Amino acid sequence: MEGAPKPLRVAIADDALLLREGIAKVLADGGIEVVASVSTGAELLEVANRGGLDAAVLDIRMPPSFRDEGIVALEQMRAGGSKIGVLLLSMYATPEYALRVMGAGSGTGYLLKERVSEPQTLVRAVETVASGGSVVDPEVVEQLVKRTRADDPLSRLTERERSVLELMAQGYSNGGIAQSLFLGLKTVETHVRSILQKLDLEESPEHHRRVLAVLTLLGAR
């Protein structure tokens, strides 16, 4: 039909033939044209170098080492100036891989292979990366959030301890904190000791632990 938008042109790279065929069917049913189907990252790069692609769907682990060939292909495409959308698929929700993929810039995505059984999700993801957007599987996002919280020492503090640390950052003494929060002085001292312990700030002649605790708070903002 004259004036109708052209379908997206996509290449697929996965060493599993049946999975490639499944992805191709899902994309074709979603109005996307699959112009190439290959089994390695090297072959995908050859296809991409010919031009004419809008996006590529790659497995992360492919021959020869079955480690990170898909991500390497993405990084090589970006290093060569390619702007095509790249959607990486993986059997596992691996935050390290996801961060590496998203670090390659816009037009990239990371989805679990199980999303192939969700046609709308897969098609929408390909359309998103092809338009320069980014996609991260919800399960991966959840793991990244959990890991970030686990790595954040401030997450170990109770709400009261956080309030005490906030006042420490404002220059309050233990006595001033006690008056401000309507607490006994000994209670404040207990909170301060707990804060220093939870932030892993050990006694040291070179550093003032109270200052280091405040720096930890400020660095998280």
Question: Residue 144: inside a domain, yes or no?
Answer: no
Q: Which two tokens stand for residue 122?
A: 């897969």
19: domain CATH number is 3.40.50.2300
For residues 65 and 133, state if they share a domain: yes
pLDDT tens for residues 81-127? 999 999 999 998 888 888 888 888 889 999 999 988 999 999 999 99
For residues 34 and 114, state if they share a domain: yes
For residues 68 and 177, state if they share a domain: no
pLDDT at 218: 66
C-alpha span between 71 and 109 (Å, rounded)? 11
C-alpha span between 137 and 219 (Å, rounded)? 29
For residues 124 and 185, state if they share a domain: no
Question: pTM value?
Answer: 0.69
For residues 169 and 66, state if they share a domain: no
Q: Is the dihedral of CA 110, 143, 147, 145 positive or negative?
A: positive
For residues 87 and 114, state if they share a domain: yes
Mean pLDDT to the nearest integer, 29-57 = 96
Q: Which of 139, 167, 199 is the last residue of a domain?
A: 139
Per the structure, the complete domain to which residue 173 belongs is given by 153-219
Reply yes or no on whether the pLDDT at 74 is more than 80.
Answer: yes
